[in-house]
Amino acid sequence: MQILSTKNTQSNFPAIAVFFIATLFIFTSNLVHAEQVIVYSARIEQLIKPMFDAFTEKTGIQVKYTTDKEGPLLARLQAEGKNTSADMLITTDAGNLWAASQAKIFRPFDSQILKSNIPEHLRDPKNEWFGLSIRARTIIYNTDKVNPEDLSSYEDLADPKWRKRLCLRTSKKIYNQSLVAMMIAEHGEAETERIVKGWVSNLATDPLSDDTRAMEFVAAGRCDLTVVNTYYYGRLMQDNPDLPLGIFWPNQSGENNNGVHVNISGAGLTRYGKNPQAAEQLLEFLSSIQAQKLFADINMEYPVNTNIAPDPIVASWGNFIQNNINLVKAGELQAAAVKLMDRVGYR
Ligand code: FE
């Protein structure tokens, strides 16, 4: 062995070189072939991972993701600019998707698959963002204190008959900003201002921090009704099935029959992503029947793809007509909505 090592050092060199080159080749070819998509998500891991896992299983493409609040994610994408590694942004509320679009984060994706899987009012007219699940913002009332026959619309919540009976979530959260923005799209600013002013004068208590708290106030009899996203109602009732809370679908008929205010969680492809084709494939997959079924089952939301039924609990709340004004309005009119709420003292 001693003799060989001194004697053959030079003749061994090419073999070592070949070994290293081969290793390098295998390593780099793996880098080229290991397809991946990198996602920034304002939705928590448990709400996105099952869809990503299904996608990887189907395509072999890995999905890597970072989760954070929508504000920091948007700021990060803007700071990273062309150097971002993110291929896709997932967030909730059309207002947030619109803001990302305004910040030039997205690139348009003209996809027949997305167009046929997602109803037109739930995606950006410029094809920059796409709704992937629907949340309905509806009326929840105390079943001991309210006869549902007395309920009709968001607009009716301004009627003096609800004086000191209404609870609302704070206007600081985007959900009610989007609701008011969509009302401006429907009624114009002056009429919406009159309505929201009526809400404020009907408040039983200061606006509350979140939807669940608003329902807890209703259940405790501190007010009689409120407006929340359906999945919060689903979660609360799952934990406390005996709470005296009923769900009511407003704006189904009569004077205001423009449908329930819906919003979305959705996604768009980033302008500077490094894996554009794989990201397109993932986005289309997320609208597919397979992924939409997961969306429907995971968070008690409604699938955007109308070929899928909602999960049984969600279905038990009944069918409703949804407002079908394009949700881009929730973004376009957001600033007007915030100012309007401020003017009428809705905190
Ligand atoms: Fe929420």
Q: What's phi and psi for 11, nearest 5 deg? A: -70, -20
Question: How far away, in angstroms, is 232 Cα from ligand 1 center?
Answer: 7
327 and 96 Cβ atoms separated by less than 8 Å? no
Give the pLDDT score at 1. Answer: 39
Question: Does 205 lie in the same domain as 56?
Answer: no
- AA letter at 224: D
Question: How far away, in angstroms, is 259 Cα from ligand 1 center?
Answer: 20
Question: How far away, in angstroms, is 301 Cα from ligand 1 center?
Answer: 10
Question: How far away, in angstroms, is 48 Cα from ligand 1 center?
Answer: 15
Question: Does 251 lie in the same domain as 146?
Answer: yes
295 and 303 Cβ atoms separated by less than 8 Å? yes
Could you identify the residue written with the tokens 């073999």?
A: 15
Question: How far away, in angstroms, is 142 Cα from ligand 1 center?
Answer: 21
247 and 230 Cβ atoms separated by less than 8 Å? yes
Question: How far away, in angstroms, is 265 Cα from ligand 1 center?
Answer: 10
pLDDT per residue rounded down to tens, the chain (347 residues): 344 443 344 445 555 555 555 555 544 444 555 799 999 999 999 999 999 999 999 999 999 999 999 999 999 999 999 999 999 999 999 999 999 999 999 999 999 999 999 999 999 999 999 999 999 999 999 999 999 999 999 999 999 999 999 999 999 999 999 999 999 999 999 999 999 999 999 999 999 999 999 999 999 999 999 999 999 999 999 999 999 999 999 999 999 999 999 999 999 999 999 999 999 999 999 999 999 999 988 999 999 999 999 999 999 999 999 999 999 999 999 999 999 999 999 99
The enclosing domain of 280 has a CATH number of 3.40.190.10
107 and 267 Cβ atoms separated by less than 8 Å? no
Question: How far away, in angstroms, is 44 Cα from ligand 1 center?
Answer: 11
Question: Does 130 lie in the same domain as 112?
Answer: yes
Question: Does 82 lie in the same domain as 112?
Answer: yes
Question: Does 116 lie in the same domain as 40?
Answer: yes
Question: Does 234 lie in the same domain as 179?
Answer: yes
SS3 (DSSP) at 229: strand
Question: Does 209 lie in the same domain as 153?
Answer: yes
Question: How far away, in angstroms, is 97 Cα from ligand 1 center?
Answer: 15
Q: Where are the beta strands (DSSP E) in 257-335?
A: 261-270, 302-303
Question: Does 109 lie in the same domain as 38?
Answer: yes
Question: How far away, in angstroms, is 31 Cα from ligand 1 center?
Answer: 38
Residue 190 belongs to domain spanning: 135-261+323-343
Question: How far away, in angstroms, is 230 Cα from ligand 1 center?
Answer: 9
Cβ-based neighbours of 73, under 8 Å, separated by 6 or more: 40, 41, 42, 66, 89, 91
Question: How far away, in angstroms, is 200 Cα from ligand 1 center?
Answer: 22
Give the pLDDT score at 30. Answer: 46
Question: How far away, in angstroms, is 20 Cα from ligand 1 center?
Answer: 53
Question: How far away, in angstroms, is 6 Cα from ligand 1 center?
Answer: 71
Question: Does 183 lie in the same domain as 83?
Answer: no
Residue 246: how many CA atoms within 13 Å on its side-chain side? 14
Question: How far away, in angstroms, is 322 Cα from ligand 1 center?
Answer: 18
Question: Does 192 lie in the same domain as 332?
Answer: yes
Question: How far away, in angstroms, is 269 Cα from ligand 1 center?
Answer: 22
